[in-house]
Every structure is written in structure tokens, then in C-alpha cells.
Structure 1
Amino acid sequence: MSDTRSFPTLSVQTLGLMFISGALATMAFDLWGQLISPALGFATLSPHGLARSLLGTFGLPNGDFAGYFVHFYLVGLIGYPVGWLFIFAPLWRRVFGRGRWLLSAAAYGFGLWVFAIGGITAIAGLPFFLNFSGITWVALAGHVVYGIVMVAAMRMISGNRR
């Protein structure tokens, strides 16, 4: 992407960038939330459970497969990378300029946490921010990790241009 454009071109390369960085970030999120966090005595994340609750709210099939599909594929590989590339990063660059990628990635992860744990849980009929229980804070760390890993992977793949 050149410095004169706000958005990346929609191409096979952009889709590959989204899928690879999203996959790595989702794996980091799940590694943190389902293995490292519980091993340290903190809560265990169940993001597919949130997806299942949301699907059930809309009367859609909400079995395990559907929950994992929404969490990994629709959100991790498509939704969150699209949000970065086409919404957050262009706005960040417009307000703060280029640079400070680690700060912008962490801020994006924080925003994902607010969206998922503050918004999606409410739509799914769950308590606001899950009553600020232990899972809330593990999810905060997980979403920030997701944002950092995704942006770091995008930068590495694209030669530090994003």
C-alpha cells in the first residue's frame, strides 16, 4: 500500500495477509486463553461459547462446530483483520500518522475487547462485560495479544509497510 492511499487494495495478496495474520493471531489468542492463562491459575477463555450464545440469540444453529467456525474463521481470519485494514488502521494513520505500530495494535486489541466482551456479550444476553469476572480480564489480555500478533505478522509479511 502506498502512502497516498488510505486503504489497501482488495487482492489475493491482501486476502492472504488477512488469513495468515488472522490465523497466527487467533492461535496466539487461544494459546493464551485456553492453555497459558489456566496454567497460571487464571480463567479459561471459551470464545466459541460466546459465538454459540450469539448464534442462539438469533435462532441460528449454535452447536460446537458453528461456534468454532464463527470464532476462528469469520472473526479471527476475516472480521478482525478487515476491521484493522479497512477501518482502524486508516483512521489511526489519519489522526496519529504512521509509526507507533505497537501502540496502535494494542489499542486495536483493546477496542476488540470492548466490542466482544462489552457489546457482543450484551447482544447474546450475557452479563455486561461478564460481570467483570476473571474471564473479562483474561479476555482483555487475549484481545490485546491478538491485535499485537496480527499487526506484527502483517508488518513482517508486507515488509513493515503497514
Structure 2
Amino acid sequence: MTLSSKLSAARAGLFRSLGLMFIAGFGATVAFDAWGQIVSPALGFANLSPHGLAKSLLGAYGLPNSDFAGYFVHFYLVGLIGYPLGWLFVFRPVWGRVVRRGGWLLGAAAYGFGLWILAIGGITALAGLPFFLNFTGITWVALVGHVLYGVVLVAVMRAFGGR
């Protein structure tokens, strides 16, 4: 195989991974938002407003923090790009080397739990909000939402041929 064909194959693999990442991130973000903004309130639990957390973070650093900016950060930067990149290039390789026999569902749920720690434990603090939002109802709805996000993300990637 020539260097040119190797580069071409690598480029094709990269574009396939990016496409898969966007499709899976879209499905997972829709599942997260449907849980947090439709199902959870319908069951009498808290209503999530993840774009509000993004707005608070942007405002804390003096950046534009309109509704559009909050939705853009939440849906596009985090849901379609950031979290899927974290799974593909950080968590999945580490999980595969450390655990080896956990199965994809356990790994996906663990990833979602880690996202919850990052978002509700870390990002809230950076945004000047109470640590874990004072463990109110939003905290627990967000836990379910982030685990759901992780599971849907990985399930969609597997359904479309990703490992």
C-alpha cells in the first residue's frame, strides 16, 4: 500500500468517525433534552434547562450569554462535538484498556455518570452556581439525563457500525 493510499484511507476513516460522532451526538442530545424537558416534568420531576447552565458559564467569563449562545454551546459544542469526542478519543480507549470486560452498556453508563460529574459538579462551579446545584431535583434529573446520553450515544455508534 502506498503512502498516498494510506493517507486516503486515514482521511476516509476520520470523516466516517466524525459523521458517526455527529449522528450519535444528535440522537443522544435529543434523548437528553426529551428526558429533561418533556418526560421528567410530565412525571412531576424537575425540568432541565441545560442551555441555562451554558448561559451562566458564558456570562461568568464575560462572553455573550444570550439564549442563542446557550443553546449553541449546549447542543452543538457539547452535544454534537465535545461529549462524542470525549467518548471516542478519551474514555473509550481508557475503558477498553482498564476494564476490558465491562461491556458497552456499562461503559456507556459510566461515561454518562462521568459527564454528570463534569457538568453538574464542575461546570456549575465554574459558572458561579452552587456545587451540584445544592443536590436539588435538577441534580438527579441531570444524572439520569447524562447516563441516558451516554447510553444513547454509544448505542447509536454501535448501530451504525462503530465499535
TM-score by length of 2: 0.91
Structure 1: runs of 5+ lacking an equivalent: 1-7
Runs of 4+ in 1 over 4 A off after TM superposition: none
1:18-65 CA deviation, whole Å, 9 max, x = no partner? Answer: 100000000000000000000000000000000000000110000000
Q: What is aligned with 1:63?
A: 66
Count of aligned positions: 153
Deviates more, 1:14-23 or 1:92-101: 92-101
> Structure 1's 98 and 78: CA in aligned 2 closer, same or farther, altered over 3 A?
farther
1:99 and 1:29 map into 2 onto residues whose CA distance is 23
Q: What is aligned with 1:3?
A: none
1:93 and 1:12 map into 2 onto residues whose CA distance is 23
- The alpha carbon displacement at 1:98 in A equals 5.6
Q: Percent identity?
A: 73
Instruction: Choose the corresponding residue for 2:123, options 120, 123, 131.
Output: 120
- Residue identity matched to 1:19: F
- Residue identity matched to 1:89: R
1:14 has 2:3 as partner: no
> Per the alignment, in what secondary structure is the counterpart of residue 11 of structure 1?
helix
- Residue identity matched to 1:50: L
Q: What value does the CA root-mean-square deviation take over the aligned residues? A: 1.4
- The alpha carbon displacement at 1:99 in A equals 5.5
Q: What is aligned with 1:4?
A: none
2:99 and 2:132 map into 1 onto residues whose CA distance is 29
Q: Which structure is larger by alpha-carbon Rg, 1 or 2?
A: 2
Q: What is aligned with 2:156?
A: 153
Comparing both structures, which one devotes a greater share of its residues to helix?
A: 2
- Residue identity matched to 2:90: I
Structure 2: runs of 5+ lacking an equivalent: 1-9
Report 1:48-59 matches (<5 A): 48-59=51-62
Q: What is aligned with 1:93?
A: 96
Instruction: Choose the corresponding residue for 1:41, options 24, 27, 44.
Output: 44
1:98 and 1:19 map into 2 onto residues whose CA distance is 27
